[in-house]
């Protein structure tokens, strides 16, 4: 949506000499394009509008003068950097502004885009569950922060960086450009001689406890992330992806990370939407028969990466090799509610629906409901046909031998593509 906001605009008659005049406290980014009026995104991640700042049409000459002033300012300011400068393109970090300059022959029009973070948050501002906070503090060491452009990924990554720093860890960042808003104790690194891998080699010499890698795009980025993680460094990588599983598929693309190494490289995926944590997945590696394969194919058991909803513990996806290809398969019947940072406590009521995932191996069928339902009796149904009643163990799951009548009935139902549901027993 484009709105006009040109009442008494200071840009109608004045020469444009700097970018600061375009920003107010609600401005996320400013977009100046030759033969167009100046525009800005105003609002917050997930809730912004594109507004016209003036009716004035910008010219090439005034944008060229402004671009040269930006480059000159960055060269003489110790807190600013020229990150990229090529024919027709430049990327500048001018203090807290990330500025992209495009001109011919790279673009058909002169353009200057300036992005400024308007939100700085701490991890407490996200209202994360105690369970997730405990994982981030003590267990998660390979984290992907995923989300669409402008969703707030970098803001969350910066909050994580300061959280780890506050716990007495040595924290560094790898960025291009360097625009994460972090405290002075955190040193921000950029590519060395154009290479993130060379920068990662230097980083190992300073022995960081955690590295925030913003952003993972190229094969070399994923390799550098994986190498640092393999060396024992806690890693947080920022990835453009529409969902957590899309972020994991980017990790597998082109053999960037071997399938068996995925859980040791990434153990937690945090999906950000509209500036909040919308989903968290946890990864683990098991040797088993992939869900949906017939029990008569028991010799096809293989290493399988399980992707579970972190809060509920429910299996959502399996990643494994099949026919020489890496496949990512959604597990049937695993519709999971979106995580909002709040959890219901206490025992469930009789008749309450229970989200479950099922898998089986040569010897047993596993029903996973999550620790939320530990010690509760649940009834299992296939297409509304009663199968059995079982008790969920303290680890959030129940196991039944395949050779039993109940175990065989579950396997048969799964192979027949029956809809498996569960509820708390009366």
Please tell me the chain's helix, strand, coil percentages from 3-state DSSP, rounded to the nearest 5. Answer: 25, 35, 40
CA dist 109 and 105 (Å) reads 9
The per-residue pLDDT for 298 is: 64
Strands of 156-275, DSSP E: 171-175, 187-189, 210-214, 234-240, 268-273
CA dist 1 and 342 (Å) reads 33
What does the block give as tokens for 343? 């959890």
The per-residue pLDDT for 329 is: 87
The per-residue pLDDT for 420 is: 85
Kindly state the greatest CA–CA separation across the chain: 84
pLDDT in tens, the chain (426 residues): 334 444 445 454 444 557 878 888 889 899 999 999 999 999 876 678 999 998 999 999 999 999 999 999 999 988 888 888 899 999 998 888 889 999 999 999 999 999 887 678 899 999 999 999 999 988 788 999 999 887 889 899 999 999 999 999 999 999 877 778 899 999 999 888 888 889 999 998 999 999 999 989 888 899 999 999 999 999 999 999 988 999 998 888 877 888 889 999 999 999 999 889 999 999 999 988 888 776 556 677 889 999 999 988 888 899 998 877 888 888 854 444 333 333 333 456 777 888 888 887 767 888 888 888 888 889 888 887 888 888 888 888 888 888 888 888 888 887 777 788 888 887
What does the block give as tokens for 407? 């175990």
What totals of helices (H) and strands (E) does the chain contain, helices first?
8, 24
Query: Which ranges in 218-369 belong to alpha helices (H)?
Result: 219-230, 244-252, 262-265
Specify the CATH number of the domain 357-424. 2.60.40
Could you say which DSSP state residue 300 is in?
G
- Fold classification of 2-115 is Beta-Lactamase (3.30.450)
* CA distance readout (Å), 199 to 30, 180, 191, 314: 31, 17, 6, 39
Other C-beta atoms within 10 Å of 54: how many?
19
CA dist 308 and 248 (Å) reads 13
Could you say which DSSP state residue 293 is in?
S
Contact 289, 317 (CB under 8 A): no
The per-residue pLDDT for 356 is: 85
The per-residue pLDDT for 294 is: 60
State in Å, rounded, how far the first CA of the chain is from the last one.
Answer: 52
Contact 380, 398 (CB under 8 A): no
Phi-psi region of 127 (alpha: psi -120 to 50; beta: other; left: phi over 0): left
In CATH, what class is 123-288? alpha beta
Domain 2-115 identical in fold to domain 357-424: no
Sorted by sequence, the CB contacts under 8 Å of residue 26 that are 6+ apart come out as 42, 43, 118
Rounded to 10 degrees, the C-alpha dihedral 329/333/334/335 comes to: 120
Residue 272's nearest CA partner among 117, 140, 155, 181 is 155
The per-residue pLDDT for 16 is: 53
Rounded to 10 degrees, the C-alpha dihedral 257/261/267/272 comes to: 10
Ordered by start, the domain boundaries in the chain are: 2-115, 123-288, 357-424
Strands of 333-376, DSSP E: 357-360, 364-368
Contact 303, 285 (CB under 8 A): yes
The per-residue pLDDT for 38 is: 94
């Amino acid at each position: 949506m484009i709105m006009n906001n040109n009442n008494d605009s200071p840009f109608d008659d004045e020469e444009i000499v700097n970018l600061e005049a375009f920003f107010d406290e609600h401005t996320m980014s400013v977009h100046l394009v030759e033969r167009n009026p100046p525009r800005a995104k105003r609002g917050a991640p997930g809730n912004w509008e594109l507004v016209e700042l003036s009716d004035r049409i910008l010219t090439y000459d005034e944008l060229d003068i402004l671009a040269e002033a930006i480059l000159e300012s960055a060269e003489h300011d110790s807190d600013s950097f020229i990150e990229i400068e090529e024919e027709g393109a430049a990327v500048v970090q001018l203090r807290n502004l990330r500025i992209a300059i495009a001109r011919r022959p790279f673009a058909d029009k002169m353009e200057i885009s300036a992005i400024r973070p308007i939100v700085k948050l701490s991890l407490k501002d996200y209202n994360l569950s105690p369970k997730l906070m405990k994982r981030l503090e003590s267990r998660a060491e390979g984290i992907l922060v995923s989300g669409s452009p402008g969703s707030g990924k970098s803001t969350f990554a910066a909050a994580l960086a300061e959280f780890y720093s506050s716990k007495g860890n040595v924290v560094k960042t790898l960025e291009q450009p360097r625009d994460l808003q972090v405290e002075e104790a955190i040193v921000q690194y950029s590519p060395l001689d154009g290479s993130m891998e060379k920068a990662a080699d230097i980083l190992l010499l300073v022995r960081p406890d955690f590295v925030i890698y913003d952003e993972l795009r190229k094969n070399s980025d994923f390799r550098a992330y994986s190498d640092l993680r393999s060396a024992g460094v806690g890693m947080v990588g920022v990835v453009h992806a529409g969902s957590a599983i899309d972020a994991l598929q980017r990790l597998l693309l082109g053999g960037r990370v071997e399938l068996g190494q995925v859980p040791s490289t990434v153990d937690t995926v945090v999906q950000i939407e509209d500036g909040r944590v919308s989903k968290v997945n946890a990864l683990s590696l098991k040797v088993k028969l992939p869900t949906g394969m017939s029990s008569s194919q028991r010799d096809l058991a293989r290493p399988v990466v399980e992707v579970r909803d972190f809060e509920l513990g429910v299996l959502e996806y399996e990643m494994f090799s099949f026919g020489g290809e890496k496949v990512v398969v959604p597990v049937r019947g695993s519709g999971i509610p979106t995580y909002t940072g709040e959890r219901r406590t206490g025992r469930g009521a009789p008749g309450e629906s229970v989200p479950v995932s099922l898998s089986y191996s040569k010897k047993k069928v596993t029903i996973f409901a999550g620790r939320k339902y530990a010690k509760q009796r649940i009834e299992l149904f296939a297409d509304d046909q009663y199968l059995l009643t079982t008790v969920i163990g303290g680890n959030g799951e129940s196991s039944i031998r395949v050779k039993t009548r109940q175990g065989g009935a579950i396997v048969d139902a799964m192979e027949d593509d029956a809809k498996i549901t569960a509820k708390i027993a009366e």
